Chain A
């Protein structure tokens, strides 16, 4: 079974500043997908960004970018120019290429200070 670890239960960031959320995972597979999901108080999980393990280039979506270190099994999320609307719980998730279920970390609560 795959294990996804998010070691930061909570992170706080000043509006317009940058925050980085860490995620590590354990797998013996070489082909897989990694995801960051955002869960605001509405509980609706929203996909923020996705990374394919066979791609070396780090994924970027507007103010969100990842630092994917395959050898280290690390997948951090950087939120640049933080906005009040970024306040939410963020989950890192793993999915094996031949599987359909997602394995999630415990989440990191991000607070944005005005």
Chain B
């Protein structure tokens, strides 16, 4: 597609349930990033994928969070046993290469609400 797409746009779930958030990066972009934006705060880095290399998971807040990227394209962020503090907007971004000067293009995000 023309830009980064994410689905669903909004997700409401009950505490304790698992959720999957999907990201479709720009075609040809090798680097993919997940960020979390909590209410009234800036974005915090969660995880990074580059090609077939092992992902950088250093930003994941707990072992309930995991992500995968299949075929070097689509990525799925999974949150198990959701908690209320997981409520946030989850943003995905991609860039052509992971160089520092490269622009990261963001998707519209998934707004997650855990009741």
- Report which A residues bind B (CB closer than 8 A): 4, 6, 32-33, 37, 42-47, 50, 52, 91, 95-107
Rounded to whole Å, the gap between the CB of A54 and the closest CB of chain B is 11
Write out the residue numbers on chain A whose beta carbons fall within 8 Å of the beta carbon of B109. Answer: 43-44
B48 A107 Cβ-Cβ under 8 A: no
- Report which B residues bind A (CB closer than 8 A): 31, 33, 35, 40-45, 48, 50, 56, 59, 89, 91, 93, 98-101, 103-109, 111
List the 10 closest pairs (A to B, CB-CB), nearest first: A104-B42, A45-B106, A100-B98, A101-B45, A104-B43, A43-B109, A106-B42, A97-B100, A44-B108, A43-B108
- Interchain Cβ contacts within 8 Å, total number: 63
A101 B59 Cβ-Cβ under 8 A: yes
Contact pick for B103, options A50, A103, A104, CB 8 Å:
A50
A32 B100 Cβ-Cβ under 8 A: yes
Q: Given A44-B107, A91-B42, A106-B42: A100 and B48 within 8 A (CB)?
A: yes
Rounded to whole Å, the gap between the CB of B74 and the closest CB of chain A is 19
Write out the residue numbers on chain B whose beta carbons fall within 8 Å of the beta carbon of A91. Answer: 42-43
A102 B107 Cβ-Cβ under 8 A: no
B91 A96 Cβ-Cβ under 8 A: no
